Chain A
Amino acid sequence: MTQTGDDVKRLRVNPIDCAGHGVCAELLPELITLDEWGYPLLPGGPVPRRLERQARRAVTDCPALALALADAS
C-alpha cells in the first residue's frame, strides 16, 4: 500500500556523525540492517505508518544523534 501525502517520512543518517553504534538496527530491524562494518543500511523508501513510532524511538535513542526522520520531499 503506497503512502501519499505530506506525512510520508523517510529515514536519513548523517554518515559523518554516525559512529556505528548499531542501536537503530536493534530497535528497527524491519527497516535497518548493519553493513559488515557496523554502519546502518537504510531503506530507500518511506517508513510504513505502523513502524513510525519505532522509527522515532530509533531517532531519539541514537547515541550519536545521527539518525533523522525527514519528510519524503
Chain B
Amino acid sequence: MTAITGSTALWYASRATGVVSLLLLSLVVMLGILVNRQGRLPGLPSFAVTGLHRSLSLLSVLFIAIHVATAIIDPYVSIGLAAVVIPFVSAYMPFWLGLGAVALDLIAALILTSLARAYISRRTWRGIHWLAYAAWPVALLHGIGSSPDLRSGGLLLVAIGSALAVAMAGLWRVAGKAREVPRAERAAYVLAGIQRQAHRVRAGHGGAR
C-alpha cells in the first residue's frame, strides 16, 4: 500500500482545488452573462446577480491561489513560481501548465481592473473584461490537459457539464446581442410600437367613435 505522503496530499489538494476553480469560473462567466442580459435569479434583486458574480470571482481567486501554491510547494513535480505567471517556462508539462499561466494572467487582469473599476475609465475596464471569454476556455484546456482527472469518470461529466453550460450561456449572450435594436433604430422602433398599439386601440373601439 502506498503511503500517503505530504507530497501526495499536496498533489491531491492542487488537483481538487483546480476542479473547484474551474467550476467557480464557469459559474462566474455564466453570472457575468446574466448581468449583461439584465437577467435575474429567481426571487433575488438585480444586485444579487452582480454581487454573486463578484463574490464567486473573488472566491475563485482564493481557490486558484491554493491550487497554484500547492502545485509549487509539492516537490514531486518541478513547477517554479515563475512558471505560474510566465507561460510555457515550467519544466513539467510546459504546454498545459503554460495554458494555466495564461489563464491566471488573464484572470489577474480581470480581477485587478474590476477591483479598481471606479477609478479607471469605462473603456479600459470593458476592454479588459472581454478577456474573460478567452480566460475561461484556456482554463478549461489547462484542466483537461494537465491531468487525466477531467478525462474520465465523474469529473469528465463535470467538465462536459461546465462546458455545455458556459457554451449555452455564451449563445444566449450572442442571441441577446443579435436581437438588440441598433441605436439608430431605437426611436423608430419605439414609435412603431406606439403606432401599432394606437391602431389596435382604435380598431378595438370600432364604431364607438
**Do any CB atoms of chain A lie under 8 A from CB atoms of chain B in the complex?**
yes
Min CB distance A17 to B, Å, is: 6
Residues from chain A with Cβ under 8 Å of B118 in the complex = 56, 59-60
4 closest Cβ pairs, A-B complex: A65-B122, A60-B118, A26-B47, A26-B45
User: Is the interface on chain A under 10, 10 to 19, 20 to 34, or 35 or more residues?
Assistant: 10 to 19
Pick from A20, A22, A59, A65: contact of B125, CB under 8 Å: A65
A65→B50 CA distance, assembly (Å) = 12
Query: Min CB distance, B206 to chain A, in Å?
Result: 29
User: 4 other contacts beyond A61-B47, A61-B50, A63-B36, with CB at 8 A cut-off?
Assistant: A59-B118, A60-B118, A63-B35, A65-B117
Could you say which of B38, B45, B117 contacts A60, with CB atoms under 8 Å apart? Answer: B117
Enumerate chain B residues within 8 angstroms of A59, measured Cβ to Cβ. Answer: 118
Contact of A23 among B50, B125, B126 (CB under 8 A): B50
Count how many pairs of residues, one from A and one from B, have CB atoms less than 8 Å apart in the complex.
32
| A19 proximal to B (CB < 8 A) | yes
Question: Judging by beta carbons under 8 Å apart, are A21 and B46 in contact?
Answer: yes
**Are B51's CB and A61's CB within 8 A?**
yes
Tell me the dominant secondary structure on chain A's binding face: loop
Contact B117 A22 (CB under 8 A): no
Q: Are A26 and B125 in contact (CB under 8 A)?
A: no
A70 to chain B, nearest CB (A): 12
Main secondary structure of the interface of B (DSSP, over half): helix
- Asked whether A42 is an interface residue with its Cβ less than 8 Å from the other chain, the reply is no
Contacts of B36 in A (CB 8 A): 63
Expressed in whole angstroms, the Cα–Cα distance for A63 and B40 within the complex equals 14
Could you name 27 residue pairs across A and B whose Cβ atoms are closer than 8 Å?
A19-B38, A20-B38, A21-B35, A21-B38, A21-B46, A22-B38, A22-B46, A23-B46, A23-B47, A26-B45, A26-B46, A26-B47, A27-B47, A56-B118, A59-B118, A60-B117, A61-B47, A61-B50, A61-B51, A61-B54, A63-B35, A63-B36, A63-B50, A64-B122, A65-B117, A65-B125, A65-B126
Nearest Cβ distance between residue A56 and chain B, in whole angstroms? 7
- For the complex, what is the distance from the CA of A46 to the CA of B45, rounded to whole Å? 26
**Bound complex: CA of A26 vs CA of B51, how far in Å?**
12
Q: Closest chain A residue to B35 by CB distance?
A: A63
Residues of B within 8 A of A23 (CB): 46-47, 50
Select from chain A the residue with minimum beta-carbon distance to B121. Answer: A65
Contacts of B125 in A (CB 8 A): 65
| A12–B155 CA distance with the chains assembled, in angstroms | 48
* Those of A20-73 within 8 Å (CB) of chain B: 20-23, 26-27, 56, 59-61, 63-66
Report B113-131 residues with CB < 8 Å from chain A CB. Answer: 117-118, 122, 125-126
